[in-house]
Structure 1
Amino acid sequence: MNKKNAGPLTPLSPSLHANAEAIRNRFGGSCDIVVRFFRSDAAPDRELAIIYVSGIVDAETINESVMEPLMSLKLPQHAYVKGGKLLEALRNCVVSIGSIKDVSTLEEALQCLTDGLCVIMADGSPAALIAEVCGGEQRGVTIPQTQTVIRGPQHGFVENIRVNISLIRRIIRSSDLHIQMHKIGRQTHSNVAVLYLHGTADESIVKEVYRRLAAIDIDGVLETGYIEEFIQDETFTLFPTLLNSERPDTVAAALLEGRVAIMVDGTPLVLMAPTTFFTFFQSPEDYYQRFDIASFVRIIRYAAYVVAMLLPALYIAVTTYHQEMLPTTLLISLAAQREGIPFPGLIEALLMEMTFEVLREAGLRMPRAIGPAISIVGALVLGQSAVQAGIVSAGMVIIVSFTAISNFVMPEFNMAATSRIIRFVYMLMAGVFGFFGIFISVLFTLIHLTSLRSFGVPYMSPLAPGPTKQGIWRDVFIRLPWWAIVLRPLDLSLRNPKRRPNGRKPPAQRHSDKP
C-alpha cells in the first residue's frame, strides 16, 4: 500500500468480538469471510478466534497447523502468564507455521486477510497473530503459451508471484539476487516484485525503477501492462521500450545481463528494463542452438522485419510512380494482372491489408478449436474470390501474404504489432509521394528511434550513439560462440562488464591413439 494513500490507522481493541465485528463490517458482511470462535486447552480461560478468507487460503494447512495445535495442545506453565503475553506464547509454543508475525492495527489485519493469510486473535489482547496459509486453486506451471522454443526449458510463469519468484531462484542460485516487494493499487493492493542482481545491475537504474513504481497512484493493477505505461520513458511512441516475457530462462538471462525485472501478482508476464531495439529480435533459443544457426536465423528476422514494414509500400511506389525500375517482362505481367482493376494501387493494398488484419483479429478472438481454421479458410476464400472478381490483382495478394508471413517471424508480439501499424503509414506515403515518401518516412522513423530511451539507456544502443569498446557488437546482428562473448551490454552493467575473464576458447583435450 502506498503510504501517501494510507489514512489514520485504527488500533485493535482488547475485545475479541469488537475486532471480529469491525472486520466483518469493513468487508460488508461478505460471505467468504470466515470467523471461527473457539476455546483452547492452551488457554482455557480465554476465547480465541481465527479469521480468514475462504478460497485464497489452504484449508488443510489451517486445520493441521493452526486449529489442531490450538485446540489440542497445552502451554507449558512457564510459557503462559495470565492476562499477559498469550499471543507470544501461542506463537512460540503452539502454532506450527513457519512464517508468523504480529499486527496491532485493523488496517494491517485487513490487508493480511486479502493477501491470503489468517488472523489469530485472543480476547483481552489488543494485537493479533498473522499466519502464512496462502493456497487455493491456482494454475500449475505449464509450457509457455506465447513464447515457445524447440530447444530449451519448457516451463513458464504462472499467475502466482511467489511461484514465479521461486522459478527464478531455481535458476539463479545466488545471494546476489535481491527481491523487493511493493504494494500498488488502492483497491487491489497488488504485489509487485522488483528483482535485480546486486553487483551486476546499475544501482542508478534500480533506484529509478523504485522511484517510478512509488509514484504510481491508481485504483488497481491487473497486469504488467498497467505498470509498463506508467514507468516507460516515452509515452507517445509505437515502439515498446520495455521487454516482457513469460519464460523464466529469459528473465534470468536478462538479470545476468544487468537488467531489472518487475513481476506483478496475477499475471504470467514479467517486465524487464532497460531494453534496446535489438533485444526484441533475440529469441531464447538463439542461446541454446549453435552460434552459426542462431546467427543465420537472427539475420532472417531482421530481413523479415524490413520486409513486413516496407514491401507493400515499395510495391505501391514501383507500380504507381516508378515502373521504369521493373524489367519489361515483369512490368507487362503486372500490367496485365491490373487490367480491369477499378482501384489504384494504394486503395487496393489498403483493402487487402485491412481484410487480413480483420481475419487475424477474428482468428485470435474466436474459440481455439475453430479460430485458426476460420482465419486460414477466410484468407484463401477471400483472396481467391477477390482476384476472380477483379477487385484486386494476384500480385497484390502475393505481396500482402508474404508481408503477413514475414510479420510472424518476429519473436516478440509487441514489436511485430509495431510493424503492422507503421506499414500503413509507409503505404500512404508511398501512394502519395512514391520512393521519396518512403525515404522521408524511414528517415523520420530512424530519428525517432535514436531519440528514445529506456530508463536512460539509448534505445538503439550499441548501434547509436556508437560502440565504446570492442566486443559489444558480438550479440546484436549475429551471435558469436559463448566463449567469445566476454562483455555484457555496457550500457546496462558498467560495474561488472565481464561475463567471463577472457575471450579465448578453452583448449580441447587431445587424446592419443597410443595406449
Structure 2
Amino acid sequence: MDWTKLAHKKLHKPAALRQAEAEREDAPLANDLAANRRAFEHAFRDCSDLVFRELAIENHTKLLLIYIDGMIDVELITVNVLSPLIYKGLPQGLGAIDNIAQMCEQQLFSVLQMRKSSNLGELVTGILKGNLAILADGEATACLAGVKQVATRGIEESTSEPALRGPKESFTENLRTNTVLLRAKFATTRLKIEEMTVGSLTRTDVVIAYLDGIVDPDLLEEVRARVARIQVEGVLDSGYIEEAIEDTHYSPFPQMMSSERPDVVAAGLMEGKVAIIADGTPFALVVPMTFWSGLQAPDDYYERFLYVALNRSIRYFFAAFSVLLPSFYIALTNFHQELIPGKLMITIAALRERAPFPTVIEVLMMEIMFEGLREAGLRLPKPIGPLVSVVGALVIGEAAVSAGIVSSPIVIVVSAAGIASFIIPRYRFGIPLRMLRFPLLVLSGMFGLFGLTTGVVAILIHLVQLRPFGMPYLSPLAPAAGQWLKDWWIRWPQRLTKRSEPEPENRGGEA
C-alpha cells in the first residue's frame, strides 16, 4: 500500500469537503421535486437514518417530507401536518393559496415554529437540528417545521455542586430547558438571551445571557467578539468554549466559573456578569471569574451571615493549609529545626530513623500516590469509587509506614493536606491549588522557608497580573472595590450590601 498517497488523500479530503459544503450553503432549491430530492440524497449520502416520505394532495400536488428518524415527534407530524394536507387538502376561504410557501406564511399548519427557506444549506442544517422539511413539486421554496423530539435527561439535583439549602434543580443537556430554567429566575425583560452557532461540524447552538442595564457594555462586547471568533470543528461541551476564549492558556487558575446550577448563574448575572450556555452540556460558564468566587459556596447566600462568616474563615484557612502544609513541614525539618519544639523534633527524628529517603522525596511520593487514589476514586463506578480511594489510602499509608519506606509524620502531613483540599467548594478551583503543591515542595526542599516564600510571592504576582476579561483576578481585594469588600471574607447582611449595578472600578482596576 502506498502510504504516501493515502496520507496525501487524507490531507486534502477535508479541504474538498469544506469546499463542497461551502457550495451547498449558497445553492438554491430547484423547481423540480426530483432534482431537489437528488440534491438532498447527495448531501446526506451514506446516512441511513434520513427519511424521505412522498405523498400527494388531492392526487395532483406532490409533496416530499424529509427528516431524521428518531429526532422528530411523529404524532405531532401526523396530527398537525399530514392530516391537514392529506385529508383536508389546501385550505380555501382565506384567499388564494396555491403553494406550500403560502401555507407556511399564513401559518395554516398548527405547528408553533414554522419558517420557509429556499436555500439548500439552510434546509440541510434545519433537518440536522430535528426539523421537518416540506417540499412541493414546482416550487423553489420549502417549509421547515419545528417538530424536534430528542430524549433528554430530566431536571435533577446537581451532583458536582450539592446544596444543603437552596434550589435543588440543575441544568440539563437541552439548551432550551436551560434557558427556561434561567428565565424562570427573572420576571423581567431585562434578561437578554442572544443565540449564536459555533463549530463547523457540530453547529452547536450557544447562548449569551445577561441582564440589560446591569452588565458592563465593554464586557458584553468582549464576550460576543470572543465567541464569534471561535474557529473549531466541534463543540461538545462548554469546556471547548472556555479554552477558546480564555485570556491565557498557561495559568493554572480557571478564568471562568463553570456551574450546573441555575441559581448560581442567576446570581452571577445580578452581579453584572455574562453567562455562556452551550447545547449538549449541563455546565454553563459565568465570566469573568475572580479568585474569591472559587472559594465561595452557593449556600453562603442562603444561610445567616454569622454562620457564613465562620464557614468562610475556616474555608480560607484550610485552602491555604492544604497548599502550604507539606512544603512548610519540609522547610522546618530540613532547614529550620530550631523553629520546632525540642520534644517534637526528637519524636520526628526518631520516627524518621528508618526512612531510606530524604523528606522531600517521601512527601513527593505520598503526594503522587494520594493524587492517584483521588483520580481512581473519580473514575471508578460510584458504588466502589469512594470505598477504594479511602481504603486504598489507609492500606497503602499503613503498609508504607510498616515497611519503613516513609515515616508516620509524612503520612499525617500529606493526609491532612489532602483532606483539607476537600473543603474547597468548587472542584475545578481545587485543581490548581493541588498542582501548586509540587513546585512549592521542590522550592522548600532546596531552599527552605526562603524558597517557600519565593514561590508564594511568585504565585501572588501571577494572581495580581491575571485579568480575565479585564477584571483583576484578586478583586475586590486587590484593587480594593469599596462596597464589594462586604462580600469578600465576611458576608454582611443583605440589607447592608444592596447594590443595583457593578462598580466601574471593579473591572477597571482603579482603587
TM class by smaller structure: over 0.9
Q: Tell me by how many angstroms 1:17 deviates.
A: 2.2
Residue 99 (structure 1) aligned to one of 99, 113, 127? 113
Aligned length: 487
Q: Name whichever of 432-441 and 126-135 sits farther off.
A: 126-135
Structure 2 vs 1, CA of residues 228 and 315 (structure 1 numbering), >3 Å: closer, same or farther?
same
Query: Aligned equivalents of 1:304 and 1:18: distance in 2?
Result: 69
**1:458 is paired with a residue of what secondary structure?**
coil
Tell me, yes or no, if the aligned pair for 1:200 and 1:493 is still in contact at 8 Å.
Answer: no
Which residue does the alignment assign to 1:444? 458
Which residue does the alignment assign to 2:474? 460
Tell me, yes or no, if the aligned pair for 2:72 and 2:131 is still in contact at 8 Å.
Answer: yes
Gaps of 5+ in 2: 1-17
**1:216 is paired with a residue of what secondary structure?**
coil
Q: Tell me by how many angstroms 1:70 deviates.
A: 2.0
TM-score by length of 2: 0.92
Q: Tell me by how many angstroms 1:93 deviates.
A: 5.6
Which residue does the alignment assign to 1:475? 487
Q: Tell me by how many angstroms 1:85 deviates.
A: 4.0
Residue 252 (structure 2) aligned to one of 238, 253, 270? 238
Query: Aligned equivalents of 1:55 and 1:347: distance in 2?
Result: 57
Q: Tell me by how many angstroms 1:90 deviates.
A: 5.0
Q: Tell me by how many angstroms 1:75 deviates.
A: 3.3
Which residue does the alignment assign to 1:17? 34
Tell me, yes or no, if the aligned pair for 2:471 and 2:506 is still in contact at 8 Å.
Answer: no
Structure 2 vs 1, CA of residues 93 and 74 (structure 1 numbering), >3 Å: closer, same or farther?
farther
Write the mapping of 1:13-412 to structure 2, written as runs, cut at 5 A: 13-41=30-58, 44-79=59-94, 81=96, 84-90=98-104, 92=106, 94-412=108-426
Query: Aligned equivalents of 1:434 and 1:116: distance in 2?
Result: 62
TM-score by length of 1: 0.91
Q: Tell me by how many angstroms 1:481 deviates.
A: 0.8
**2:207 is paired with a residue of what secondary structure?**
strand
The residue type paired with residue 108 of structure 2 is V
Query: Aligned equivalents of 1:491 and 1:350: distance in 2?
Result: 45
RMSD: 1.8
Which residue does the alignment assign to 1:505? none
Query: Aligned equivalents of 1:6 and 1:277: distance in 2?
Result: 44
Structure 2 vs 1, CA of residues 355 and 21 (structure 1 numbering), >3 Å: closer, same or farther?
same
Query: Aligned equivalents of 1:20 and 1:257: distance in 2?
Result: 52
Q: Tell me by how many angstroms 1:264 deviates.
A: 0.8
Residue 485 (structure 1) aligned to one of 491, 497, 505? 497
Tell me, yes or no, if the aligned pair for 1:177 and 1:198 is still in contact at 8 Å.
Answer: yes
Structure 2 vs 1, CA of residues 140 and 492 (structure 1 numbering), >3 Å: closer, same or farther?
farther
Q: Tell me by how many angstroms 1:368 deviates.
A: 1.5
Tell me, yes or no, if the aligned pair for 1:51 and 1:119 is still in contact at 8 Å.
Answer: yes
Structure 2 vs 1, CA of residues 243 and 6 (structure 1 numbering), >3 Å: closer, same or farther?
farther
Query: Aligned equivalents of 1:493 and 1:6: distance in 2?
Result: 44
**2:484 is paired with a residue of what secondary structure?**
coil
**CA deviation digits over 1:78-102, x for unaligned, max 9?**
44747x4432125536310011111
Query: Aligned equivalents of 1:263 and 1:90: distance in 2?
Result: 31
Query: Aligned equivalents of 2:136 and 2:187: distance in 1?
Result: 41
Q: Tell me by how many angstroms 1:492 deviates.
A: 8.3
Higher share of residues assigned helix: 2
Query: Aligned equivalents of 1:489 and 1:92: distance in 2?
Result: 46
Query: Aligned equivalents of 1:236 and 1:164: distance in 2?
Result: 31
**CA deviation digits over 1:199-229, x for unaligned, max 9?**
1001111111111111111111111111111
Q: Tell me by how many angstroms 1:413 deviates.
A: 1.3
Q: Tell me by how many angstroms 1:348 deviates.
A: 0.4
Query: Aligned equivalents of 2:331 and 2:502: distance in 1?
Result: 39
**2:265 is paired with a residue of what secondary structure?**
helix
Query: Aligned equivalents of 1:135 and 1:294: distance in 2?
Result: 44
**CA deviation digits over 1:45-83, x for unaligned, max 9?**
21112111122222222222222222222334344747x
Q: Tell me by how many angstroms 1:369 deviates.
A: 1.9
